[in-house]
A = this chain, B = another copy of it.
C-alpha cells in the first residue's frame, strides 16, 4: 500500500525514490547541462569553459590550482580548458613575480565581452527553466545544495 510517484515513465515507490536521491538530481542536472550546452553553443563555449571564464573574470589573478579547486576538477583536466581559453585570446596566463611556478589568470577585454554576452544568454534561458518556481523555493533549494556540499565526507 505504498504511495507511488511519477518519475519519467516508470513508477517508483516513495521508499525507492528516497534510495534514488542521486537519480533525481542527475535527471535535473542533465536538463540544466543540456540546456546550458545549447545556450552556449553560439559562443563556442561548453559548460566547463564557460564556468572557467566566468570565474576568471570575477576573480582576476586566480591561480590554476585555485580555479581547479573551485570547479571541483583535477588540475590536469583544467590545463586543456585554460589552453583553449588562452588560444582564443579570452584570457592570459601571467607569471606571478612572487611565485614563478604559478600563473595569474586574467581575462582579456575580448574575454570579458564574450563573458557578458554569454551570461546574458544563460540568464535568459534560466528564466524559462525556472519558470513557476518561487524565489523562496529557489533560495531553499540552493541552501539545501550548499548544505549537502558542506556535509561532504572527504576520503582520508
Contact = CB atoms under 8 A, between A and B. Distances in A.
Interface of A: 7-13, 16, 18-33, 35-36, 38, 47, 51, 54-55, 58-59, 62, 66-67, 69-72, 119, 122-123, 126, 128-133, 137-138, 140-149, 151-153, 155
B66 A145 contact: no
23 contacts: A9-B66, A10-B59, A11-B58, A12-B54, A12-B55, A12-B59, A16-B58, A19-B122, A22-B29, A22-B36, A25-B25, A25-B29, A28-B145, A31-B152, A128-B151, A128-B153, A137-B140, A137-B143, A137-B144, A138-B144, A140-B141, A140-B144, A141-B141
Interface secondary structure of A, over-half rule = helix
